[in-house]
Structure 1
Amino acid sequence: MKTICKIHIPGRMTLGLEFPLDNDWSLEGEKKRKKQRRPFGIPDISKHTELIKLADKLGFAALWMREVPVYDPGFGDGAQIFDTLSYLGYVAAITDSIAIGTAAVVLPLHDPLQLAKAIATIENLSESRYLFGVGLGDRPVEFPLFGFDFETRAQRFVLNHEIIKEAWKEQSELNQYYEGLSNEIQVYPKPKNEIPWILAGRAKQSMDWIAQNMQGWFNYPRDVKDTEVLVREWKNALYDNNQASKPYISAFHLNLLKDADAPFTPHRFGGSVGINGLTQLMRLYELAGVNHMALHLRKSEVPVDEALKLIGQEVLPHFYPLSLQNSNV
């Protein structure tokens, strides 16, 4: 089977978006949230269908969704509220060309066979547009709720990765992981194409393991200088392990300002800038070696629908040529 990765154009950078596609962390968004009496971190998703379809139509390369099993006020983040895997099925049905990815599924919290079936289902129904972003999980409160030990999550991460890969084989041999299981037992559906694994963070694994077992590395938002260092580390790990080019992915918390000419001002995980400076800013990350950037709009001063249209008209053509939208790389 061929690995299909719709976000990777070697030597270039594509642009995507992070859910929940709201701007609750802006001043106006904060006022609206308080008026609606929503807890901090619980987004307004009333226009989510409209915004998802708009992102697809405008030609963004991917939509990324986080998994947050339970809302913890201490973290103040409810992600996109809906169950990640169920929601991905819905997103696949209402879109045509945009890739849909997880950044990330908390791999140690899942039963691997159930997850293998769910992910392969999404891959089949989306016509291989799914990017399987996985992570280790960093919230101790979640693990005992699901009956798992927080301290051994790194070992469980590796084991679940192995079991899922085995389950997706045309003739899997799951009995090597489950005592007494017949080797005729299979999990269906099988993926139509090889599903790209994308690791968010390091999952307490070595760079050699990541390079050998993942088809992309999703790193947390950093400034351009620090990003360059990590891109170099990724490329060195790929070279040392005789791996082909694989995408380096990151995110950027963008406060798109209403003043189109406003200069860039950095803040934690991103920065504020007007639309006329955004292309130049993203170009710096492209030159640093980022292959895909997921824009996070929760702080955007410009309303999300307007922000998507502005970015689609003014910025996307510089990073994701329309002629390459349907390329499989």
Structure 2
Amino acid sequence: MPEFNAGYDRLFGSDDLTVGVGFPLTAASESRPDVDDEMRLAAHAESLGFDALWARDVPLYWPRFGDAGQTFETWSWLSHAAAHTDDVALGTASVVLPLRHPLHVAKSAASVDRLSDGRLVMGIATGDRDPEYPAFDVDADDRGALFRESVDLLRTAWREAFPTAEGRWGSLDGDLDVVPKPAGETIPLLPTGNARQSVAWIAERGDGWLFYHLPMETLTSYLDEWRAAAGEKPYAMVVRTHLADDPTADPEPVHQGYRAGSEWFAEYFRDLRAAGVDHVVVSTPGDDPERELTRLAEDVLEAV
């Protein structure tokens, strides 16, 4: 496995299933979360053994979508989280590349990676909020091509000094450089969902694949296709984990996951590991987020 940085190694450097948790860690998904509470919970999650903290990229708030992520701008938020944690990986889930200039992304991401001592892992996406594209004067039909151009430029800007490159974003003629460079040779990129690309493209150009929750039978077929195309490159997924008070409770489907007892979730995570999933991004809804994080770590993950 390539050693891109400390964050990638934390998530994918062993055969164990690793687990991260997504911001906001409090219940504030449509309004600004309390920053002190979020950072306290981030440190608590790290102390419990969670392997990553993932931040959303939501350029503009659309009430109809009903989710503003952690509301704060992704790079600023992860820099703040880096200052309040020690070793946990820091992830983006996921940066909407067609709505950002790739040179800005290259500089911002490398800055966070440096400030966190190489802990940044980047989920990257094409976006899914229709009104954002005209707001940024981006043709939604161009998302796939813009995504590919951005990935190519990010790699070039991180790996080369004073690069030459050209695209719809502009051109570099060798007189300018993007600094700082990442802590390692590059920053790992995990295309998210299909990102309007083929699995073959994602397998060749990505450093792993970040996907949404899928039923187990469908997940198995996706993993088979991924392994055939990507070999041992990692597969990560998102699942909503709503722990019932009764540890023996059977699962009930919820959006992007399940509500179930801890015994069922422990078995489910063992099944994910056996199927070949490398990392899971969980969420812990509830009125007492500190308690829910602790329950998930102690009652489920320790059993796995």
Per the normalisation by structure 2, the TM-score is: 0.91
1:191 aligns with 2:178: no
Counterpart of 2:270? 283
1:231 aligns with 2:223: yes
User: What CA distance in whole angstroms lies between the structure 2 residues aligned with 1:218 and 1:305?
Assistant: 26
Counterpart of 1:242? none
The one-letter code sitting in structure 2 at the alignment partner of 1:214 is G
1:307 aligns with 2:281: no
Q: Is the 8 A contact 1:216 1:246 kept in 2?
A: yes
Q: Which structure has more RCO (C-alpha within 8 Å, separation ≥ 6)?
A: 1
The one-letter code sitting in structure 1 at the alignment partner of 2:131 is V
Counterpart of 1:89? 79
Q: Is the 8 A contact 1:64 1:102 kept in 2?
A: yes
Counterpart of 1:267? 254
Q: Secondary structure at the residue paired with 2:11?
A: coil
Per the normalisation by structure 1, the TM-score is: 0.84
1:100 aligns with 2:87: no
Q: 1:175 to 1:15 in 2, by over 3 A?
A: closer
Counterpart of 2:282? 295
Q: Deviations over 1:176-207 (max 9, x none)?
A: 45877541311100111131101111111111
User: What CA distance in whole angstroms lies between the structure 2 residues aligned with 1:58 and 1:192?
Assistant: 26
Which piece of structure 1 moves more, 279-288 or 97-106? 279-288
1:218 aligns with 2:226: no
Q: Secondary structure at the residue paired with 1:255?
A: strand
The one-letter code sitting in structure 2 at the alignment partner of 1:224 is M
Q: Secondary structure at the residue paired with 1:103?
A: strand
Shift of residue 117, structure 1, vs aligned partner: 0.4
Counterpart of 1:54? 44
The one-letter code sitting in structure 2 at the alignment partner of 1:278 is F
Q: Is the 8 A contact 2:241 2:283 kept in 1?
A: yes
1:250 aligns with 2:248: no
User: What CA distance in whole angstroms lies between the structure 1 residues aligned with 2:141 and 2:177?
Assistant: 31
The one-letter code sitting in structure 1 at the alignment partner of 2:288 is P
% same residue: 33
- Give the paired residue count: 297
1:317 aligns with 2:290: no
Q: 1:293 to 1:175 in 2, by over 3 A?
A: closer
Structure 1 unaligned spans of 5+: 25-39, 240-244, 320-329
Counterpart of 1:17? 21
Q: Secondary structure at the residue paired with 1:188?
A: coil
Structure 2 unaligned spans of 5+: none
Q: Is the 8 A contact 2:48 2:294 kept in 1?
A: yes
Q: Is the 8 A contact 2:12 2:279 kept in 1?
A: yes
Q: Secondary structure at the residue paired with 2:237?
A: strand
Shift of residue 226, structure 1, vs aligned partner: 1.4
User: What CA distance in whole angstroms lies between the structure 1 residues aligned with 2:266 and 2:13?
Assistant: 18
Q: Deviations over 1:271-308 (max 9, x none)?
A: 1112333211211221222111111123x4x6210011
Counterpart of 1:3? 4
User: What CA distance in whole angstroms lies between the structure 2 residues aligned with 1:179 and 1:306?
Assistant: 49
Q: Secondary structure at the residue paired with 2:19?
A: strand
User: What CA distance in whole angstroms lies between the structure 2 residues aligned with 1:54 and 1:121?
Assistant: 25
Selected match of 1:203 from 166, 172, 195: 195
User: What CA distance in whole angstroms lies between the structure 1 residues aligned with 2:250 and 2:34?
Assistant: 30
